[in-house]
């Protein structure tokens, strides 16, 4: 049993590791679209590239979560960091279409943020879960700012290969932090105790993964997470194309815009979500986030320039941040401590699913109907989800068994 001070130290370290992981991820986001365009990719082919990543991480997410439950947080995070090193090293030699696709393969093991969420979920008290996960989102904002700024600056001044090499070195630093500071096991309930209930230690046991969907409220929350998150996921996947073609931004300008996203998210996750979760129920906050997301979609449909978009970013990041934190918190509270890793792996797979179908749908919508179509779809879908949630109320809210 870890002492409260020891738990807090691990949580602080995991916040640092998460911030670094997101930094390298967004550094890559500042490289890949421009490298792909230089290699002759059009919008459709860039969509295929994004879909490839989504499929790879969709397959890896639940298995990674199960791996963390069986072998512990340190092993899971070490695998993620090592995969990131290989991922960025392959990006440095990606000078043709084939290699650009090949460098995405290690992404099957790259689940640094879900891994960090698993540690925070294990070490945080139940009533403080949403706030703790929200603070982890603060690290996401820091990483978004640092990664976007670094990526745009390094790729513009020194080239894509140097920027990718920089990220590979950074990922190795993250690996060293994991090996030195993260305990082998962070769960209160150990696997032997779980085994008494008849569970299996197999990482690839699909029954152990899918059984979590049978807990009360889980299927409903997952359905909301997928349907409501799909329009925003499509827009996020296509944003690099929108920034280049619709807003006519260069790599460095795009980096600054992403940094602005990060600042807004930092304020929301660091100063707003904790206060909201202490005053309002999670179901009420879920309703609020879905409702605001519908209005954001309508605003996106009407925007015509990057200034309009900068105004929309604030409510957009608020709804996304609250939605993701609250749904993750609700879902992890619905299962036993020994299964939180698998549950968060499934949550990560929802994002991967959105990235899988998003590029294909987004590429079609962009080419056929233009940027406003993303906003109209988001508005209609989230308005429908909001109405259904309002009608059903909190009758199926998840609870810890």
Least confident stretch, 63-67, 307-311, 315-319: 63-67
Contacts of 222 (CB under 8 A, 6+ apart): 213, 331, 346, 350
More confident residue, 299 or 205: 299
For the whole model, what pTM was predicted?
0.73
Mean predicted confidence (pLDDT) in 327-338: 81
Residue 385 has pLDDT above 90, yes or no: yes
pLDDT tens digit sequence for 333-373: 887 777 777 788 888 777 777 777 777 788 888 888 988 99
Say how far apart CA 26 and CA 96 lie, in whole Å. Answer: 22
What is the pLDDT, as a whole number, of residue 124?
Answer: 76
Read off the pLDDT of residues 46-104 as tens digits, 9 standing for 90 and up: 777 877 887 888 888 888 888 887 888 889 999 999 999 999 999 888 888 888 888 88
What is the chain's mean pLDDT, rounded? 82
Task: Report pLDDT digits (tens) over 25-42.
Answer: 888 877 787 778 788 877
Q: In whole angstroms, give the CA distance from residue 309 to residue 331.
A: 32
CA dist 400 → 131, 218, 220, 337, 339 (Å): 18, 11, 15, 9, 11
Dist. CA 255–CA 353, nearest whole Å: 26
DSSP string, 188-223: SS-HHHHHTTT----TT-HHHHHGGGGSTTHHHHHH
pLDDT confidence band for 206 (50 / 70 / 90): low
Task: Name the percent of the chain lying above pLDDT 70.
Answer: 91
Q: How far is CA 300 from CA 25, 47, 212, 351, 373, in A?
A: 25, 21, 36, 21, 9
Q: Are 137 and 19 in contact (CB under 8 A)?
A: no
Which domains can be identified in the chain, with CATH numbers? 4-187+212-392 (1.20.1250.20)
383 burial via Cβ count (<10 Å: 0-12, 13-18, 19+): middle
pLDDT value for 350 = 78
pLDDT of res. 329: 85
What's the rounded Cα separation, in Å, for the pair 400 and 218?
11
**What whole-number distance in Å separates Cα of residue 331 and Cα of residue 399?**
8
For residue 172, pLDDT over 90 is answered with yes
392, HSE (Cβ side, Cα atoms, 13 Å): 17
Banded model confidence at residue 173, pLDDT cuts 50, 70, 90: very high
More confident residue, 162 or 192: 162
pLDDT in the model for residue 203: 59
């Amino acid at each position: 049993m870890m002492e409260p001070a020891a738990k807090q130290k691990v949580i602080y370290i995991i916040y640092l590791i998460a911030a670094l992981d997101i930094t390298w991820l967004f550094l890559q986001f500042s490289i890949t679209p421009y490298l792909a365009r230089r290699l002759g990719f059009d919008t459709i082919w860039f969509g295929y590239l994004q879909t490839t990543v989504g499929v790879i991480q969709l397959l890896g997410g639940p298995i990674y979560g199960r791996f963390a439950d069986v072998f512990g947080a340190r092993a899971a995070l070490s695998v993620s960091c090592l995969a990131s090193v290989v991922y960025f090293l392959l990006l440095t030699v990606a000078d043709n279409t084939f290699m650009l696709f090949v460098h995405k393969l290690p992404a099957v093991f790259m689940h640094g943020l879900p891994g960090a969420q698993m540690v925070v979920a294990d070490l945080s008290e139940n009533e403080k879960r949403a706030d703790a996960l929200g603070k982890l989102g603060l690290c996401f904002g820091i990483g978004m700012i640092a990664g976007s700024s670094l990526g745009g600056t390094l790729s513009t001044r020194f080239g894509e290969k140097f920027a990718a090499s920089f990220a590979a070195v950074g990922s190795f630093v993250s690996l060293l932090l994991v090996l030195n500071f993260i305990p082998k096991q962070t769960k209160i309930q150990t696997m032997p105790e779980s085994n008494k209930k008849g569970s299996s230690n197999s990482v690839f046991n699909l029954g152990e993964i899918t059984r979590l969907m049978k807990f009360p409220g889980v299927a409903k929350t997952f359905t909301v997470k997928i349907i409501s998150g799909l329009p925003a996921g499509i827009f996020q996947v296509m944003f690099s194309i929108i920034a280049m073609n619709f807003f006519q931004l260069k790599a460095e300008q795009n980096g600054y815009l992403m940094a602005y996203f990060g600042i807004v998210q930092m304020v929301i996750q660091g100063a707003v979500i904790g206060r909201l979760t202490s005053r309002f129920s999670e179901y009420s906050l879920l309703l609020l986030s879905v409702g605001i997301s519908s209005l954001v979609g309508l605003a996106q449909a009407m925007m015509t320039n990057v200034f309009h978009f900068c105004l929309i970013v604030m409510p957009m990041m608020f709804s996304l941040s609250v939605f993701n934190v609250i749904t993750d918190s609700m879902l992890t509270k619905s299962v036993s401590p020994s299964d939180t890793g698998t549950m968060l792996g499934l949550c990560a797979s929802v994002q991967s699913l959105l990235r899988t179908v998003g590029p294909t749908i987004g590429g079609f919508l962009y080419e056929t109907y233009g940027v406003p179509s993303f906003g109209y779809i988001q508005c209609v879908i989230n308005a429908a989800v909001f109405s259904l949630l309002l009608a059903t109320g909190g009758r199926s809210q998840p609870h810890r068994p």
